[in-house]
């Protein structure tokens, strides 16, 4: 049968449970995913004095074709975006500034260093998000930045973060959609600390100084991102979940949850409903930890589906800002973007094709037998037929046919780098 015939049958199956598939598709088209630029070049960036990757971050693999210039990275993003249904966003780090060969320290970065990115995004109707880069730098070599005991080093990073918020504001003004500017720091200790409080006091004071500078919330949204541990900070991280959860709540900032930044059995999907009760918006970095915060490419696994369910069933598509954060240098990087982002969109579609209101009603009535039975049966409903139709409708390759595009791009472009 054709894609359209399969789709019509699927529509009938879902309609039986009150799910209007056409409405679902229209709603899905409006959900942007913030795609991280750093998958394309292994978190290297384009600084003139490029520093070795540090801050508890590791990228493994040496697959050929890595982007080495801004033009190459944007070309690779264009290819990936052409294979992903929907209109999305791109997430930048400070190290992706373009300074025309001039050494510009991070605390001196300005909007003008991102004009090429803004022009590129404007031409494509994309939004941009932003992150100050507080790793891979001599002033972060000892694993401390905003919580550093040295005031001069702290001030350097404070000024970098202030400048980053202004760059985010610039993105929002130019592109007509607010940028999410997210602060993550690597600060912590390898072994058991003798004082956990003092570094956190310094971090709080640094953040207070950063956010004391007025930036228009119409154009820039501030987020802070926690972490449990990292390479070199196994015993203690200054910016813990509890620290940032409280800081964000008290200072009206977004708390960003990275799915790789918790204990291996601690699920971010289980946190979303609580966060939504007390926060107007919640931000996510969706990754896939394997044994540790290893940033594997996102797959359509149970946790990804549960994250999507929590967003959809709580009517929070406009309250949860979804970004991705993974980097794998062992496979084709354009394919990595495509696989991960398509899976995030698939998970949202999967959740939207569920009769969530009826399942909620069953729970309230205590009818756990029918609830379990239906939740299991819906796992094999014809979701794939709707996904195929959605891809075709959005003008992107259906099923695995996108892989041929990537293979062609690798042969014609990536292999010649």
Q: Is the pLDDT of residue 103 over 80?
A: yes
Supply the pLDDT for residue 15.
98
Q: What CA dihedral angle connects 173, 283, 316 and 83, to 10 degrees?
A: 70
Element (DSSP H or E) covering residue 153: helix 151-175
Helix (H, G, I), strand (E, B) or coil at 292: strand
Pairing label, strands 320-324, 282-286: parallel
Q: Is the pLDDT of residue 55 over 80?
A: no
- Choice among 325, 388, 405, 410 that is catalytic: 325
Has 285 been annotated as catalytic? yes
Measured at the alpha carbon of residue 103, what is the angle toward residues 98 and 108, in degrees to the nearest 5? Answer: 80
The string of pLDDT tens digits covering residues 328-363 is 999 999 999 999 999 999 999 999 999 999 999 999
* Cβ atoms 127, 89 nearer than 8 A: yes
The rounded distance, in Å, linking the Cα atoms of 168 and 174 is: 10
Domain ranges of the chain: 1-30+353-417, 32-346
Supply the pLDDT for residue 53.
81
Has 227 been annotated as catalytic? yes
The rounded distance, in Å, linking the Cα atoms of 255 and 250 is: 11
Supply the pLDDT for residue 152.
97
Q: Is the pLDDT of residue 46 over 80?
A: yes
Supply the pLDDT for residue 50.
83
% residues pLDDT > 70 (the chain):
100
3-state secondary structure 159-179: HHHHHHHHHHHHHHHHHCCCE
Closest by CA to 35, choosing from 126, 122, 105, is 126
- Choice among 117, 184, 337, 387 that is catalytic: 184
What DSSP letter does each residue of 296-343 carry, written as one string? EPP-S-HHHHHHHHHHHHTT-TTTEEEEE----SSS-HHHHHHHHHHH
- Choice among 227, 241, 296, 346 that is catalytic: 227
Supply the pLDDT for residue 48.
86
Element (DSSP H or E) covering residue 258: strand 254-258
- Choice among 129, 174, 258, 388 that is catalytic: 258
Has 241 been annotated as catalytic? no
The structure's pTM equals 0.96
Helix (H, G, I), strand (E, B) or coil at 21: helix
Supply the pLDDT for residue 51.
81
For the chain, what is the mean pLDDT? 96
Place of tokens 């789709």: 7
- In the CATH hierarchy, which top-level class contains the domain 32-346? alpha beta
Has 139 been annotated as catalytic? no
The string of pLDDT tens digits covering residues 238-253 is 999 999 999 999 999 9
Has 318 been annotated as catalytic? no
What are the tokens at 305?
Answer: 């589906």
What is the DSSP-derived secondary structure letter of residue 52? P
What are the tokens at 263?
Answer: 């204990």
- Choice among 285, 296, 305, 346 that is catalytic: 285
Place of tokens 């309230």: 364
User: What is the average pLDDT across 86-109?
Assistant: 96
pLDDT band at 276 (very low <50, low <70, confident <90, very high): very high
Q: Is the pLDDT of residue 56 over 80?
A: no
- Choice among 11, 113, 253, 261 that is catalytic: 261
The rounded distance, in Å, linking the Cα atoms of 336 and 175 is: 27
Has 258 been annotated as catalytic? yes
* Phi and psi torsions of 314, nearest 5°: -100, 15
Has 184 been annotated as catalytic? yes
- Choice among 107, 129, 174, 225 that is catalytic: 225
The string of pLDDT tens digits covering residues 118-147 is 999 999 999 999 999 999 999 999 999 999
Supply the pLDDT for residue 49.
85
- Choice among 293, 303, 310, 328 that is catalytic: 293
Q: Is the pLDDT of residue 179 over 80?
A: yes
The string of pLDDT tens digits covering residues 370-413 is 999 999 999 999 999 999 999 999 999 999 999 999 999 999 99
Q: Is the pLDDT of residue 58 over 90?
A: no
Has 388 been annotated as catalytic? no
Has 325 been annotated as catalytic? yes
Supply the pLDDT for residue 57.
81
| Lowest mean pLDDT, pick from 28-37, 42-51, 212-221, 282-291 | 42-51
């Amino acid at each position: 049968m054709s894609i359209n015939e399969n789709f019509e049958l699927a529509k009938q199956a879902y309609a039986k449970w009150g799910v209007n598939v056409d409405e679902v598709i229209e709603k899905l088209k409006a959900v942007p995913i913030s795609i991280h630029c750093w998958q394309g070049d292994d978190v290297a960036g384009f600084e003139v004095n490029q520093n070795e990757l540090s801050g508890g971050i590791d990228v493994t693999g040496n697959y050929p074709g890595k982007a080495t210039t801004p033009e190459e990275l944007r070309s690779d993003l264009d290819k990936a975006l052409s294979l992903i249904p929907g209109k999305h966003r791109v997430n930048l780090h400070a190290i992706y500034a373009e300074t025309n060969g001039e050494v510009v320290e991070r605390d001196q970065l300005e909007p003008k260093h991102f004009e090429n990115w803004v022009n590129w995004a404007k031409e494509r109707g994309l939004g941009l998000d932003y992150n100050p880069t507080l790793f891979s730098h001599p002033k972060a070599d000892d694993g401390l930045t905003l919580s550093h005991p040295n005031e001069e080093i702290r001030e350097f990073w404070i000024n970098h973060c202030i400048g980053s918020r202004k760059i985010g504001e610039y993105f929002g003004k130019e592109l007509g959609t607010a940028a999410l500017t997210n602060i993550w720091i690597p600060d912590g200790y390898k072994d058991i600390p003798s004082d956990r409080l003092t570094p956190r006091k310094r971090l709080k004071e640094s953040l207070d100084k950063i956010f004391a500078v007025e930036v228009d919330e119409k154009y820039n949204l501030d987020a802070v991102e926690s972490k449990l541990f990292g390479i070199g900070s196994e015993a203690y991280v200054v910016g813990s979940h509890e620290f940032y959860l409280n800081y964000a709540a008290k200072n009206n900032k977004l708390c960003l949850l990275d799915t790789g930044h918790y204990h291996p059995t601690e699920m971010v999907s289980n946190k979303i409903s609580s966060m939504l009760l007390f926060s107007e918006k919640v931000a996510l970095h969706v990754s896939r930890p394997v044994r540790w915060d290893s940033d594997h490419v996102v797959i359509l696994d149970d946790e990804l589906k549960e994250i999507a369910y929590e967003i959809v069933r709580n009517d929070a598509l406009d309250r949860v800002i979804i970004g991705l954060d993974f980097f794998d240098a062992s496979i084709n990087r354009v394919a990595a973007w495509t696989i991960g982002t398509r899976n995030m969109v698939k998970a949202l579609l999967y959740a939207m094709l569920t009769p969530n209101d009826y399942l909620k009603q069953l729970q309230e009535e205590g009818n756990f037998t029918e609830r379990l039975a239906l939740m299991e049966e819906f796992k094999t409903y014809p979701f794939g037929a709707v996904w195929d139709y959605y891809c075709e409708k959005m003008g992107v390759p259906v099923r695995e046919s996108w892989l041929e595009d990537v293979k062609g791009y690798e042969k014609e472009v990536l292999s010649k780098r």
